[in-house]
Amino acid sequence: MVELKGKLIADRIKEEVSSKLEKAPSSYELAIIRIGDNNDQVTYENSAKKKLSEAGINVQSYSFDGNISNDEFYENFKQINSNENVKGILLLKPLPSNIDEIRIAETINPRKDLDGISPYNFYKACQGKEGNLPCTPVAVLEILKGYNIELKGKNAVIVNRSLVVGKSLAMLLLKEDCTVTICHSKTQNLKEITSKADIVIFAIGSPKKFDSTYIKEGAVVIDVSINQDENGKLCGDCDYESMVTKASAITPVPGGVGVVTSMILGKHFVQNL
Ligand code: NAP
């Protein structure tokens, strides 16, 4: 059984990022935009900022009052978007309900779109072409490829249909010639479907919900979720101890997908410099 450690992959990406940055002007900046003081967003921002700065990226935070109007935020967003020194943008989500997310997504320069919110980038990915997709599914693919897991012709089941995880990951896996099934909360006989798959990606956000009865012998298991168990300890959607008795490879939580995700921002940032 192989534990798919995120750090190994994140460190390799970090080296690539640092070496690409050597030739870039230090004025180039990665902008993290936040509206309000949501705790999870502030934590994610601080952690991403630390990791990306360590890779040599000039990260700048732009934070706005949680009560900002839609038009005022849009004007500020346009300014950041058109700033020539800003080469990449991460907009922290979820946005307050008064902010028109579609207008922002349509406005962001697709080349600066680090977390795949631009419809143009999703369209390109649907065509099987290069285009920034959300960082989490890209991190999943980096792990699978980084550990040389065979993808061509394999049956991959994704338990999540959100744009930011399931739908985007489906596009990436299709490009790798997987046969992809997307499941969700209304899927019937989920266990029957997941237990036939070569690769199963769990991302529902429910602590230790899935045990080894959900997979076949030798399956590759990717656990995307970051939850807390009843003792407040971080855990994924999988009962790790049970899964390891049957899986051929599995990502731990913490230490799996999450570790790679923020470094994908760096990868997307340097690719257009
Ligand atoms: P989301 O929008 O709430 O999506 C959850 C998905 O799970 C939905 O498609 C939902 O189905 C499905 N689902 C919920 N309960 C289910 C059940 N009992 N059986 C089958 N499917 C079920 O969440 P998200 O933003 O995609 O994030 C998903 C998870 O990934 C969260 O735990 C989040 O913490 C984690 N995440 C991790 C990272 C990382 O870097 N590791 C980054 C982003 C998110 P419906 O569509 O029918 O509701």
The answer to whether 25-109 and 135-257 have equal CATH topology is yes
Per-residue pLDDT reduced to its tens digit, 41-68: 999 999 999 999 999 999 999 999 999 9
Output the CA–CA distances (angstroms, integers) from residue 27 to 58, 60, 80, 83, 86, in the order listed: 7, 11, 14, 11, 9
Whether a cis peptide bond, with omega within 30° of 0, leads into 254 is yes
**pLDDT, position 272:** 81
> For the chain, what are the domain ranges?
25-109, 135-257
Query: What is the DSSP pairing of strand 86-91 with strand 179-183?
Result: unpaired
Q: Which residue(s) pair with 249 in the sheet?
A: 2, 220
- pLDDT per residue as tens digits for the range 81-140: 999 999 999 999 999 999 999 999 999 999 999 999 999 999 999 999 988 999 999 999
**Residue located nearest, by CA, to atom 7 of ligand 1:** 204
Amino acid making up residue 162: S
Q: Which residues contact 193 (CB under 8 A, 6 or more apart)?
A: 157, 181, 183, 187
In this predicted structure, the answer to whether residue 264 has a pLDDT above a threshold of 90 is yes
What confidence score (pLDDT) does residue 130 get?
85
Identify the architecture of domain 135-257 in CATH: 3-Layer(aba) Sandwich (3.40)
Does residue 48 line the site of ligand 1, with CB under 6 A? no
CB 183 within 8 A of CB 157: yes
Give the C-alpha separation, 140 to 258, whole Å.
9
Residue 187 near residue 161, CB atoms below 8 Å: no
Q: Which helix (H) or strand (E) holds 58?
A: strand 58-64
Mean pLDDT confidence for 23-40: 96
Q: Helix 257-271 and helix 39-54: axis angle, to 10°?
A: 60
Distance 19 CA to ligand 1 centre (A): 34
Q: Is ligand 1 within 6 A of the CB of residue 161?
A: yes
Residue 110 Cα to ligand 1 middle (Å): 25
Per DSSP, helices labelled H in the chain are 6-21, 39-54, 70-82, 101-107, 119-126, 135-146, 168-175, 190-194, 240-243, 257-271
Q: Which atom of ligand 1 is nearest to the CA of 166?
A: 26
Pocket lining: 27 vs ligand 1, CB cutoff 6 Å: no
pTM (two decimals): 0.97
At 144, the pLDDT band (50, 70, 90 cuts) reads very high
Give residue 78 CA to ligand 1 midpoint distance, Å: 30
CA of 62 to the centre of ligand 1 (A): 28
Domain 25-109 falls in which CATH fold? Rossmann fold (3.40.50)
Report CA(215)–ligand 1 centroid distance (Å).
19
